[in-house]
Chain A
Amino acid sequence: MPQSNRFADYLEIIRQQIRWKRVQPYVLQEIENHLTDQKDAFERNGIDEETAIIKAKAEMGDPVVVGEQLDRTHRPKPDWPLLAMTAILIFLGLSIQFIIGTDIYNGMEMFYKQVIWAGLAAIVFLVAYFLDFTILGKYSLIIYLLLVAITLSDYWFSDVRTTGYNTAIYPLLLFPTIFAGLVYRMRNKEYGGLVLCGAAVIVPALLGLLIHNSTVLFLIGTSCLIILTVAIAKGWFNVRKLYALIILYLSSAVTFSIMLFMMNDYAWNRLHVVLNPSLDPTGAGYITTLIQRLLLHSRLFGEGLPVSDYGQYPISKILPEANTDFLLTYLTYKFGWILFIGIILIFLAFIVRSVIISKRQKSVLGQLVSLAIILTLVLQFLTFVTSNLGFMLFGPVSLPLISYGGRGLLINMCLIGFLLSIFRTGSLVSDDTEVAGIKSSRLIQYENGKIIIKLKATQ
């Protein structure tokens, strides 16, 4: 725009007053538009261009004062309660790891490892927190492909014999978030965009199947389904909402039925035992039966009553994975339901507050990505709690920030870093104006008393 040079010196002074760099282009664009409008108005009244520019600047006022006022309005807004809760959860997690560490075999060694991982996770958190989260929208395809590559190599090189599970489950936890970025990119792309989004779920879902982890599969499937439902319901795909929802749920139901159909005898057998652990109390139903017995003997405060069937051994000898998979069962039996309730309440507070702030986000990208992150955290939390209560349909993956395991901690801190970054800077993010672009490509337009008929379509 030729005008921009005329106002450049004035805009530069305003820019220098605004300390938050990322807000500058958004604000200056609006001010420049205003100056141009004002100048045009003066010119229409017969004033020459030079004078009009000077007068337009004078109308706006002293650029230093204007800049200072804008600076005061635009400060990043860290959400201190959520930051505090994240810190509390990390310290609570480490304290719990220390307490359990003194009780179980090799526990202290694992505790020290977890402290080191917590340090690394804090760095990852800060990077995600200060990174511009809009890259998740802009480069969603590249990030998606990168993540597929990382997960595949993790799957390939994972040493299942030493870890007991495939470590690819952790990068898989990032998929819903990247998926939200893809949905953002595909918005306004109608049915084609919707189909492409559906296709994007296939790769992580297949990986979830390959590593035999029903929890991860459930987490990815449910999150992506909810994200798409919200995107369709809010009209972001520009399609008939009802049709699109029918297509989405029909295809999900078909996929789900095919998966059930392909389940082998072993899986069916497991499912039966999950629903009724007493069918096989010493085999596949062993853990479930043990957990149910431990919880039945737990008290509100203090250590639970002795469980007779398992000899007189302490809980640390009979419950496996006390610091990871069954941490809540351990804590409940060892210290009482009060600790269980306390941990649940902190998580609930975190989740409820996140949902409230997420709903306030103005940009489509901010809403989608924060929804995806909240879902990833909530579903991990829910599957962990239910399995620790003895309902093992979906086994535990991790209790975010608390259960033992470096990769889980790293991934969850990265997700929370992005979430709080959205909440800190989301107010200034606006989506690209594609919808407006479509409007202006209409053949006949009415504007300022003029009817404009385009004889050639421009798009």
Chain B
Amino acid sequence: MSINKSLLTGSTTMLILKLLEETDMYGYEMIEELSKKSQNIFKLKAGTLYPLLHGLEHKDMLTSYEKSTGNQRIRKYYSITKTGRKYLNEKTKEWKVYTVAINNVLGGVDFAPVQ
């Protein structure tokens, strides 16, 4: 299986799609969730997040809708599409192959995961 070169830069996309696979979220929520789930390892800058979200929306991987909240603020929620789910699936598979390969090289036989 060939590994996409943009794997590392594309990993943020994968993480965002993963978050949205469970529930619809707005931008701020995603950053919070990502930081919580990765135990503060992934601190995504909002300045990176929004261009990425808008780009994914153009590519039909996400759709968005507006919803007003109690304090009269209108929030833009993002929701994953079928195309997005398919893409996430592919990327997750690629990622697994990639990490297994890295582990194999780094740790030799001992590090290889039990299949």
Contact = CB atoms under 8 A, between A and B. Distances in A.
Contacts of A69: 47-48, 51
A440 to B, nearest CB: 6
Interface stretch (B1-9, B12-20, B66-74): B66-74
A456 interface: no
B28 A433 contact: no
Contacts, number: 77
A243 B76 CA distance: 33
B37 interface: no
A73 B58 contact: yes
Contacts of B57: 427
Contacts of A427: 57-58
A31 interface: yes
B54 interface: yes
A242 interface: no
A368 B7 CA distance: 39
A395 B73 CA distance: 55
Interface in A47-72: 59-63, 65-66, 69-70, 72
Contacts of A430: 64-66
Chain A facing B: main interface SS: helix
Interface string B67-97: 1111001111000000000000000000000
Contacts of A61: 45-48
B67 A362 contact: no
28 contacts: A29-B76, A30-B27, A30-B50, A30-B76, A31-B50, A33-B26, A34-B27, A34-B50, A36-B73, A59-B45, A60-B45, A61-B46, A61-B47, A62-B47, A69-B51, A70-B51, A70-B54, A73-B55, A362-B63, A362-B64, A430-B64, A430-B65, A433-B67, A436-B67, A436-B68, A437-B68, A439-B68, A452-B70
Interface of A: 27, 29-31, 33-34, 36-38, 59-63, 65-66, 69-70, 72-74, 360, 362, 427, 430, 433, 436-437, 439-440, 445, 447-448, 452
Interface of B: 26-28, 45-48, 50-51, 54-55, 57-58, 60, 63-70, 73-76
Closest 5 A/B residue pairs (Cβ): A61-B47, A69-B51, A66-B47, A37-B28, A436-B68
